[in-house]
Amino acid sequence: MKKTLSSLAVSMTVMTALTGCVFDNSSGTTVAAPPAATPPATPVPTSITNPSGSYAISVFATNPAGSTKPDDIVPVQTAANSPDSAVFIAYQDRSDVDPMGNIPTGAPIGAVAQGQVVEYDLNGNILQTINIPGHIDGMVQNTVNDYHTLWVTSDEDANPKLSIVNFSASPATVTTYTADAASVSAVTVPDSNNGSMNNIPLQHGGGLDDLKLIGNNVYVSASAPATTTTPTNLPPLLPYSTSWANGASCGNGTCGNGTVYGINQPVAGTANTNGAIQYQITLNSGASNTYHVTPVVTTDGSTTPTTMLSNGIAALTSNNSAILNATDTDSTAIDPNGDLWIDSQQDGELIHVSNIKPTNTTQTTSILPLTYGGTSWTIDDFRWVPTVPTGASGSTFMLVTDTTGGYVYRIVANGGFTPGQVFAAAGNMITSLNMTTGVLTPIFINFQATHGLNFVTP
């Protein structure tokens, strides 16, 4: 078909837009087009304010098309002690997949029980999107053998899965593992969607949450444990550390107010005799695509390899021994000494595990109750500001996810963050955290629901 002059002009316009080049009639050559204007930055909601004035906030990213509920954040290194080159952010679901990995009744036709792990460059541009089965709730870059492997946990309440991602492949590959028979409980938990009892938990009665790599071993939180209102098997004179109901010190299992206790007794049908709250997780050899969990931190001191009687820091003022009342082990962090800290979330306390090892009989624990304004307070992710690695060219910044709001925020400190400071996502706040007193001090307020928090050292 013969083209008119106007149609040729339109074609040339389209070609220019697609190629980013301009044809120079005077020389007969093609030259680069001027760069497109940078789109305006997404504004920070006006409700978010900075009580201290010492920090600045901007929007790093918003929900990509088809993804919602940003949560965990993992910076990516390309070699040991190298600056961060990219960042992974987990989006928990497209259609409200619940923490057991189920799609709720009434979800759109064709909805898939999966979330997404999105890789960003350090300016917030998407590099790739990787689908992960289930409700994502934990990630770690496992650098034991290479620097292109990401471990991701899903379904923190039951049906726990572990996905191993090779993110350097094109496209990225995902292999999903399920618990072996020795790790699984005979106890079932109800499916919140249809009332059936078809969800299989691990030995502690729940699923898996946050992951950390320490000394070439991967540790994972025992999430959603079995609980009781009438604890038994209490050793004499050993109080529980805190109360799920009010954060107060409890004596000999008596806290009142409908208090819920973490199980420190056998869970029926399992090998669990000591209320595991942290496991070592390993992959089984062969083609079974299964993993195994070994309890390494427990709620009492009756079973080695863990000495689990804690020295209280604040709630137990006399440094009395106590049984940890861990009803909701969630996020974890590694301090500058390499020790593991566990957020017993609904209990409003951090559990410090010193010298954690899979076969260590001398590891000890202590508790740090958390408060804001004199009231027991819960947090999600918390992190120490890292030491800047050799070769870093930029300033350390914080990333934090507002899961309900659908934002990922970038926070910088005036004058820079100080290595060793601790910050926490605390509901509708981002706070600094005093690791001696457990007191939270807000630096930004009026988010919808903060969850993921991490530092990036470019």
10 Å Cβ neighbour count for 57? 18
What are the pLDDT digits (tens) for 165-192? Answer: 999 999 999 999 999 988 887 667 666 5
Using pLDDT thresholds of 50, 70 and 90, give the confidence band for residue 220: very high
More confident residue, 162 or 314: 162
Instruction: Output the pLDDT for position 4.
Output: 37
Please tell me the distance from the alpha carbon of residue 219 to that of residue 277, in angstroms, as a whole number: 10
Instruction: Output the pLDDT for position 194.
Output: 55
Cβ neighbours for 281, distance < 8 A, ≥ 6 positions apart? 162, 208, 211, 218, 219, 220, 291, 292, 293
pTM of the model: 0.83
Backbone angles phi, psi at 355, to 5 degrees: 55, 45
- State mean pLDDT over 398-419: 97
Please tell me the distance from the alpha carbon of residue 319 to that of residue 23, in angstroms, as a whole number: 79
Please tell me the distance from the alpha carbon of residue 160 to that of residue 290, in angstroms, as a whole number: 11
Judge contact between 400 and 393, C-beta under 8 A: no
What are the pLDDT digits (tens) for 3-52? Answer: 333 333 333 333 333 334 433 333 343 344 444 455 568 999 999 999 98
Q: Which of 94, 108, 104, 224 is nearest to 155 (CA)?
A: 224
- State mean pLDDT over 205-220: 94
Q: Is the pLDDT reported for residue 70 higher than 80?
A: yes
More confident residue, 357 or 405: 405
Q: Which of 423, 420, 419, 305 is nearest to 365 (CA)?
A: 305
What are the pLDDT digits (tens) for 351-400? Answer: 888 888 776 656 777 778 888 998 888 999 999 999 988 877 889 999 99
Q: Is the pLDDT reported for residue 53 higher than 80?
A: yes
Using pLDDT thresholds of 50, 70 and 90, give the confidence band for residue 259: low
